[in-house]
Every structure is written in structure tokens, then in C-alpha cells.
Amino acid sequence: MTVSNAEWQQRKENAIARGQGNVAPVYIDRADNAEMWDVEGKRYIDFATGIAVCNTGHLHPRVKAAVLSQLERFSHTCVMVTPYDSAVLLAEQLNRLAPGDTPKKSIFVTTGAEAVENCVKIARAYNRRRGVIAFNGGFHGRTQLAMAMTGKITPYKNLFGPFPGEIFHAPFPMAYHGISVQQSLAALDTLFKVDIAPEDVSAIIVEPVQGEGGFYPAPDEFMQALRSLCDQHDIVLIADEIQTGFARTGKFFASEYSGIEPDLMTTAKGMAGGFPLAAVVGKADIMDGALPGGLGGTYGGSPIGCAAALAVIETIEQEQLTAAANRIAARFGELLRALQAKHPDSIGEVRCDRGAMIAIELVQDGDATKPAVELTKAIVAEAYQRGLVLLSCGYYGNVIRFLPALTIDDALIDEGLAIFADAMDACSQ
């Protein structure tokens, strides 16, 4: 007997803590590339990919074959006990792909938050300093230290304090909201004078494109200035590439846009095609700052995840998915700007200059200082009703983000955006 979405939602609310909410009461039965079908048989076009996880689409044949092959061999031995070749092969690939020419090393963990926290551990072990600087609006995970670095209270930090100390925040540059690169850098200089001396700062962590914060790209000038600042004061520069990595932005890693080499870099989400896997990749001398046994985790570097990630990398390179991300961005940009011309008072900005990490910011009366939060919620809900999976984000929750699979075809893009336009028309009346 088929159980409906509504029945599953009721059972979910009875069985799972409310803190682990869900965007829509849609329970997926199967998925293929950029489409999904729920338990009632309804089809959805997926513009979310599990929050930028399935960059190669749902169940890419190459990823599926790699996972099935690994399952026939073994599922777990613990890479810290009796390791296996796929972990070494994947580390070699990550070290090859990471920006810059400095020799690299990697470690494996299971989640993005773990990767972030291990970056801090590695940085502190390397330079024996205490302070960490992050940016307003940034998101780095839901564990306690990662939450401390996250620059947004609700829903991520609300009720969960106190948080670890020696974490400081500075404004993130976003031209649409009047925060310039110069203002952000001046705020860092003030922080060095008021809160912590630069020689006490272990690391600065930055997203090359803010994810949950609203899909604001860090200007190249800003990333280059951070690199110079860290070089000047021997601070470890951490690029959080959890959402931006693995071809999502039209480069393999978004840091490549600014031409900088991070000292450490986090990866997760799109890394393994839907299987839980994360990593820290960084300059070898910094990565080796931690003592043997100081890094790791029971499930870190799962052999299934490693096999999937190797297949993802092969797929990105064989199918030229970085170029595909830019093609997708161009098509979305054309159609979303046409929609902006139709709704100039509601769509304040279209952001599509970092590959398939695309967003529109919804406002009232064309005013960037008046976020259209309720309109955003209504459009996302209406889109689900019409068969389109969307996500919102942003400091105020007024940004709709588009994260299609990099393997999506133009026909599905056009169909999905037509649904989106209809949903926006319906909610704007």
C-alpha cells in the first residue's frame, strides 16, 4: 500500500526531532540525473541537488558502477587501521587539483563541519596561535566550533551557546548591500587594533562564494588582499570550498578565480556524488603540523565514498563539467534577467557569474534594504507544488538559489525556469 507524502510527514514529525526540519513535505522514491519522483509518483525537476551535492546528477552511471564495484570488495576497514588504495589515489588527485604549485597533502573526514574544525586544529598545531577570523554571513557547519565561526544566528546558532572563544567576525564585502572591499579590509585592521593582535591570529577562514549567506562571490581583489594579509602576518588562510568545489562554480575550485593559493582548503558536498565524504587539502608543511593520531575519525575516508569521489573527478574531467557549469550559468542568466525585467521591484539582483551557483535576491520596491522574506517563502512553496525543487538562503532568507546538476540539459533548464516564472507570477499577484 502506497504511503502518501502527508502520511510520511506526520510519521517524520513523530519520530525525528523538530530541529532537523525539512524544506517541503516531499518524500523521494527515486531519482535520475536532474529529475526526482516522490512516493506518490509526482515528478520534480531538481534545482537543488541535495544542497550542491549531486553535481554529477543523481546516480551517474560512472559513480554508481564505482560504488557497486567497491561494495563487492568491502565496505569498511577504517583508513586509520588497515587502509586501502582508493584513499591514497583520491588524496593524490585532490593534491593535484588543489590551486597552486606548493606540494599538498590531504586528510579525510565525513562531513563539511568536520573538515572546517580540522582546518582550525591543523592551523593551531602549525603556528601555535589561538585566534580565528571569519566573516559575517558565512556558514561553516553545525558543530560547536563550526557554529562559532558561522556568521548568522538564526537558525544555526540560536539556543546553542556558549560557543568557543577566540573567534572573531568581520564584514564580508557585497557591493549590492554597500559593503566594499575597502570597508571589509578596514574592519579587519580595526579588529587587529581592538580585539586581537595579528600575531595571535592562527587562521582566517573565508568562502570564495558565500553559500548559506546568499551566494555573494568574494571579489578577486578581496581574496588577493586576504592572501597578502596572511602572508604578511604568517596567518593560515583557509578557503571553505565545501559548497563551491568540484566544478560547481565553473572552476574546479572557486579560489582559482582570484588566482590565489589557500594554505588549507575544505571540500565536501559535491565531492562524492551523494556519498558522505569530506576532506582537508593543504600545503604539506602546514598539514604535517599535527602529530600522528591527532587527525582522523572512524568513518573518515570511507572506501565507498573514496570510490565514488574518484568517479566524480573522472566524470568532471571526461564530461567537461566545469565548462558545463558556465553554459548553465549563461542560460539561467538570460532567462532570470528576462524575469527581472518583468518583476523589477521584486528581483533586486541576479547573481550568475560563478558558474552554476546561481541566485536571485528578492526585495520590496526594488530596495536592497527591504528583503522580501515572505515572497521568497511563498515562491519556494509554490514551486514545489508545481514540481520544482528549490532552496532559499541569505542573511535575511530572501535569496533563492539555483544549484542544478552540471549534467542537466537545456530542455530541463527551460522547463524548470518556466515553472519558476509561473510560481513567481502566482505569488506576486
Q: What confidence tens digit (pLDDT) does each residue in 317-338 have?
A: 999 999 999 999 999 999 999 9
Answer with the one of 263, 289, 318 that is the final residue of a domain.
318
The arithmetic mean of pLDDT across residues 356-376, rounded, is 97
Number of domains the chain is built from: 2
CATH number reported for the structural domain that contains residue 150 in this entry? 3.40.640.10
Prediction pTM value: 0.96
97 and 157: one domain? yes
Please name which of 327, 302, 393, 377 lies closest in space to residue 51, comparing C-alpha atoms.
Answer: 393
The pLDDT-based confidence of 385 (bands split at 50, 70, 90) is very high
**What mean pLDDT comes out for the span 44-59?**
98
User: What are the Cα distances from residue 141, in Å, to 54, 211, 249?
Assistant: 19, 11, 20
Do 351 and 287 share a structural domain? no
- Joined together, the cell numbers standing for residue 19 give 530541529
Give the pLDDT confidence score for residue 152 in this predicted structure.
87
| Domain termination residue (choose one: 270, 287, 318) | 318
- Do 339 and 295 share a domain, yes or no? no
The confidence score (pLDDT) of residue 107 equals 98
* pLDDT computed for residue 1 by the predictor: 62
DSSP class of residue 33 equals: B
Of 41, 52, 213, nearest to 140 by C-alpha is 213
Residue 266 resides in a domain = yes
Q: Which of 169-199 are b and which e, b meaning 16 or more Cβ less than 10 Å from the residue's Cβ? A: bbbbbbeebebebeebbebbeebbeeebebe
Decide if 69 is inside a domain. Answer: no
* Mean pLDDT within 134-144: 95
268 and 355: one domain?
no
* 84 & 130 share domain: yes
CATH number at residue 382: 3.90.1150.10
Cis peptide before 371 (omega within 30 of 0): no
* Set of cell numbers at residue 230: 596572511
Residue 310: pLDDT band (50, 70, 90) is very high
Which ranges of 17-132 does DSSP label H, i.e. alpha helix? 49-52, 61-71, 85-97, 112-127
pLDDT digit string, tens, across residues 92-132: 999 999 999 999 999 999 999 999 999 999 999 999 999 99
Find residue 131's DSSP bridge partners: 201
- Of all residues in the chain, what percent carry a pLDDT higher than 70? 100
Asked if residue 66 is part of any domain, the answer here is no
Whether 308 contacts 273, CB under 8 Å: yes
CB atoms within 10 A of CB 28: 15
Q: Are residues 176 and 125 in the same domain?
A: yes
**CA–CA distances in Å: residue 207 to residues 77, 152, 352:** 33, 14, 16
**Are 38 and 132 contained in the same domain?**
no
Same domain, 325 and 303: no
Distances in Å between the Cα of 262 and the Cα atoms of 276, 278, 290, 306 are: 24, 17, 18, 23
